[in-house]
């Protein structure tokens, strides 16, 4: 006997399903809204979910990652809808088991459910694979859990993987983690940064060259493709690969053979390909900037890493905790704790640079906190606090107190803005003159810290003339060491 959950606002449909599923001697639960269905899953385990696409409180497709994260592996979701072709396409892309077009027959339902349950049973009986080592990846929210399922699939296969996501979302980290957990972990993980290699050098960097092949080629050079033999070739920023190289690279992917520059013989290389990009390759194909045939060959598994602002408060807290701990360990100091106001600003910020930016911001705050055991909002870079403040002001400042959902929104609450304000603005307002003086002194301190106290750099960053610079040092009693 299995447990089946139906999430559908059509009461008659739920009654029909109840009678069919109970006749099949399975347990049956039904809810008429997404919120109730998802809440039920957090406390109960079910085997199959029939999920309607259009629900009064949202689109079923959008809830798939959350539902998937709550279901045991292998998760089985059967989507039901009115036969809209886009819905069917999205359902398949989201990896659901089946898409049933309403109204569907009893026979169709039985067949789809029987097959789904058999598939689930076979998968469960199959030997448990080795657990993955995900120690370097932080994130427990539903959006990340969906990525781990794909990461596991990728690690346990030799398929080509395309990782997409905004800058700093962890594409290279995921590529490395796939490699380290794969059958090729003993081979090299070779990174090709397509964005930073010049077009003239890309061919010889990828394929190698023979001594004398061109001016400056004083010795034979092994290319990155050969170095990845037996391992993984990671093409970072593949959207930046020049069209001229895309053609030769396509051949390498098809035949695993290539010719180093100036060489007559062809070489072979058995590598696994992982590519990453923050650009929309399909759009680039339409604009004639990327080859369609290469795009087809780049991936079997496609993994989209969500931006940090979509990951939820728990992930921002978890990443911050881990990174602060690492910083303290590296500096050999006692563990520092973030104050509530510090976390509120982090949760309210929209993180355009994602995890990389979060780590940089934590590093700045760590330095600014000096010997303090607590990290306050004051220690955060002014740019971050100003952005949070501006967003709150343009929101009218009338938001409720910070809630869990806050991290999903780039617009912070009024309390978050208040906490982001410098201390002197939190109580009675000082005169503008006093405030400017305080900010000038603060600016000078931050400038010194960031530039390591180098006068040249301080003048260059601040744009201050020499006389003005030294006058300010004198005014605020700061000295250069």
Ligand X SMILES: Nc1ncnc2c1ncn2[C@@H]1O[C@H](COP(=O)(O)OP(=O)(O)OP(=O)(O)O)[C@@H](O)[C@H]1O
Contact residues: ligand X, CB under 6 A: 137-139, 165, 167-173, 236, 278, 319, 355-356, 359
State in angstroms the smallest separation of the CB of 210 from ligand X.
32
Nearer to ligand X among residue 221 and residue 356 (C-beta): 356
Determine how many CB atoms are found less than 10 A away from the CB of residue 284: 16
State in angstroms the smallest separation of the CB of 298 from ligand X.
16
Structure-token match 């010049």, residue found: 198
Nearer to ligand X among residue 273 and residue 447 (C-beta): 273
Beta bridge partners of 4: 28, 48
CB within 8 A of 30, min separation 6: which ones? Answer: 5, 6, 7, 8, 14, 17, 18
Q: Token digits for 241?
A: 């690969």
Structure-token match 């929210």, residue found: 141
Nearer to ligand X among residue 307 and residue 415 (C-beta): 307
Nearer to ligand X among residue 88 and residue 152 (C-beta): 152
- Residue closest to 447 by CA, chosen among 400, 382, 390: 382
Distance CA 84, CA 184 (A): 42
User: CA 207, 212, 218: angle at the middle one, nearest 5?
Assistant: 90
Distance CA 308, CA 317 (A): 11
* End-to-end alpha carbon distance in the chain: 76
Nearer to ligand X among residue 17 and residue 362 (C-beta): 362
State in angstroms the smallest separation of the CB of 159 from ligand X.
20
Nearer to ligand X among residue 165 and residue 415 (C-beta): 165
Distance CA 481, CA 471 (A): 17
State in angstroms the smallest separation of the CB of 276 from ligand X.
6
Nearer to ligand X among residue 40 and residue 359 (C-beta): 359
State in angstroms the smallest separation of the CB of 228 from ligand X.
18
State in angstroms the smallest separation of the CB of 384 from ligand X.
17
DSSP letter for each residue of 338-403: E-HHHHHHHHHS--TTHHHHHHHHHHHHHHHTTT-SEE-GGGS-HHHHHHHHHHHHHTTT---S--
State in angstroms the smallest separation of the CB of 176 from ligand X.
8
User: Do residues 55 and 83 lie in contact, with contact meaning Cβ atoms separated by under 8 Å?
Assistant: no
Taken as a whole, the chain contains a residue count of 481
State in angstroms the smallest separation of the CB of 303 from ligand X.
11
State in angstroms the smallest separation of the CB of 325 from ligand X.
12
Closest chain position to ligand X (CB): 170
Burial class (CB in 10 A: 0-12, 13-18, 19+), 479: exposed
Nearer to ligand X among residue 180 and residue 229 (C-beta): 180
Nearer to ligand X among residue 319 and residue 388 (C-beta): 319
């Amino acid at each position: 006997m299995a447990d089946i959950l139906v999430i559908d606002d059509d009461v008659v449909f739920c009654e029909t399903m109840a009678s069919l599923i109970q006749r099949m001697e399975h347990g049956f639960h039904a809810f008429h809204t997404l919120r109730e269905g998802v809440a039920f899953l957090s406390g109960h385990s079910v085997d199959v979910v029939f999920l309607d696409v259009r629900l009064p409180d949202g689109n079923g497709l959008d809830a798939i990652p959350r539902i998937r994260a709550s279901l045991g592996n292998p998760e089985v979701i059967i989507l039901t809808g009115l036969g809209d072709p886009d819905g069917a396409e999205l359902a398949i892309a989201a990896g659901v088991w089946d898409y049933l077009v309403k109204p569907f027959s009893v026979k169709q339902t039985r067949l789809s459910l029987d097959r789904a349950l058999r598939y689930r049973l076979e998968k469960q009986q199959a030997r448990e694979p080795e657990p993955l080592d995900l120690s370097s990846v932080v994130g427990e929210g539903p959006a990340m859990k969906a990525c781990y399922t794909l990461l596991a699939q990728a690690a346990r296969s030799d398929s080509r993987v395309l990782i997409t996501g905004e800058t700093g979302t962890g594409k290279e980290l995921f590529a490395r983690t796939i490699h380290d957990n794969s059958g090729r972990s003993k081979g090299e993980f070779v990174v090709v940064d397509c964005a930073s290699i010049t077009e003239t050098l890309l061919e010889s960097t990828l394929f190698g060259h023979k001594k004398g092949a061109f001016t400056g080629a004083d010795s034979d050079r092994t290319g990155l493709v050969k170095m990845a033999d037996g391992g993984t070739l990671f093409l970072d920023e593949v959207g930046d690969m020049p069209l001229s190289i895309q053609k030769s690279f396509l051949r390498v992917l098809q035949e695993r053979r290539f010719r180093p520059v100036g060489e007559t013989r062809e070489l072979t290389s058995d590598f696994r390909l992982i590519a990453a990009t923050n650009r929309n390759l399909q759009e680039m194909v339409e604009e004639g900037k990327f080859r369609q045939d290469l795009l087809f060959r780049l991936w079997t598994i496609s993994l989209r890493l969500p931006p940090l602002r979509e990951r939820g408060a728990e992930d921002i807290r978890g990443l911050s905790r881990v990174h602060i701990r690492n910083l303290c360990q590296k500096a050999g100091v006692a563990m520092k704790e973030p104050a509530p106001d510090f976390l509120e600003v982090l949760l309210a910020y929209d993180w355009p640079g994602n995890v990389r930016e979060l780590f940089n911001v934590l590093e700045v705050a760590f330095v600014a906190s000096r010997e303090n055991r607590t990290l306050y909002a004051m220690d955060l870079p002014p740019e971050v606090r100003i952005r949070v403040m501006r967003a709150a002001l343009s929101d009218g400042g009338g938001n409720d107190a910070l809630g869990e959902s806050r991290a999903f929104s780039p617009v912070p609450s009024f309390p978050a803005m208040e906490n982001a304000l410098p201390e002197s603005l939190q109580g009675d307002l000082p005169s503008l003159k006093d405030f400017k003086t305080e900010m000038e002194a603060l600016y000078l301190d931050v400038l010194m810290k960031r530039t390591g106290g180098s006068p040249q750099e301080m003048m260059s960053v601040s744009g201050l003339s020499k006389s003005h610079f030294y006058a300010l040092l004198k005014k605020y009693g700061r000295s250069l060491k």
